[in-house]
Amino acid sequence: MKVDFTFKAFAAIFSVVVVLFLLSAFTETVLPGNSYTIEITGLPGPAANGTATVMVPIPANVTGEPVIPEEALVGDRVTGWQATIRETPYGKMLAFTATEGYAPDISISFEVLQTEDELQRLPRYQRPTNLTAWEMKREPRLLVPVLATPGDVGVAEFIQVSNSTYTTVVFLDGFAPPPEDAAGITFSLEYRGVGGTKRLIRENTWTATVNTAVQGTESGFVPVPAEYRVIAGGIGF
């Protein structure tokens, strides 16, 4: 009799724990977000009486709309550099312009969580793009500009694949010619777009990375490869 009572008590406690766990998991919300890490090393010094500029892609959706607010990207957060968004023949890019007589390495990370969709009552055309988190959670994202894709398919078709490589672009201007034996300029760019989790449903995660070296003698727009990957969502506990 005592054993039976103990077993029932244990079963009841276990059931309560399971229910609380499921309730916690069901109500847990992870907001969609975007993070972008930029590492650029090996930059030559600026040319005499010139202004050195380096530009990199920005995270955006299929239409080219930035998914990280421009005001979060610009400014003087990197010592020796001023960051701005520039329009180029290929679309918007993040430009770093040297503010001193030297060109230090660039290392910076951006992370922005999209806020709850508090404006859901408004008509869609009135909602700020970067605030409609749960409407954007299933929206594929990557680093743009996109110069070329395998088979020259459009960006809207390309982003449906799970893993592939496409061509984006970086830009260099105003740097002094490096020594012949100098190592190249290394670009390490990593974007991660998280779809978020709500009521146990985990949305997709999109990543786009650039890991390449460019000769210090290069100038202007330089095509570089980017790896695109989709991490499938599902039921998340």
18 and 69 together in one domain: no
Using DSSP bridges, classify how beta strands 29-30 and 81-88 pair: parallel, antiparallel or unpaired. unpaired
81 and 9 together in one domain: no
Q: Residue 95, class by beta-carbon neighbours within 10 Å (0-12 exposed, 13-18 middle, 19+ buried)? A: buried
Q: Which of these ranges, 95-104, 138-147, 172-181, 192-201, has the smallest mean pLDDT?
A: 192-201
13 and 65 together in one domain: no
pLDDT tens by residue, 186-215: 999 999 998 765 656 667 789 999 999 999
152 and 186 together in one domain: yes
115 and 215 together in one domain: yes
* Structural domain that includes position 4: 1-29
Please give the tally of structural domains in the chain. Answer: 2
pTM of the entire predicted model: 0.78
Tell me how far apart the alpha carbons of residues 44 and 41 are, in angstroms, rounded to a whole number: 9
98 and 126 together in one domain: yes
pLDDT of residue 18: 41
113 and 174 together in one domain: yes
3 and 37 together in one domain: no
113 and 62 together in one domain: yes
Structure tokens given for 237: 């506990």
pLDDT of residue 161: 84
Q: What percent of the chain has pLDDT over 70?
A: 70
142 and 173 together in one domain: yes
DSSP 100: S
57 and 112 together in one domain: yes
pLDDT tens by residue, 31-82: 678 999 999 999 988 886 778 999 999 999 888 889 888 899 999 999 999 9
User: Whole-number mean pLDDT of the chain?
Assistant: 80
**Which residue from 208, 221, 172 is spatially nearest to 36, judged by alpha carbons?**
208
96 and 22 together in one domain: no
pLDDT tens by residue, 102-124: 889 999 999 887 655 433 444 44
**Which residue from 186, 156, 173, 157 is spatially nearest to 60, judged by alpha carbons?**
156
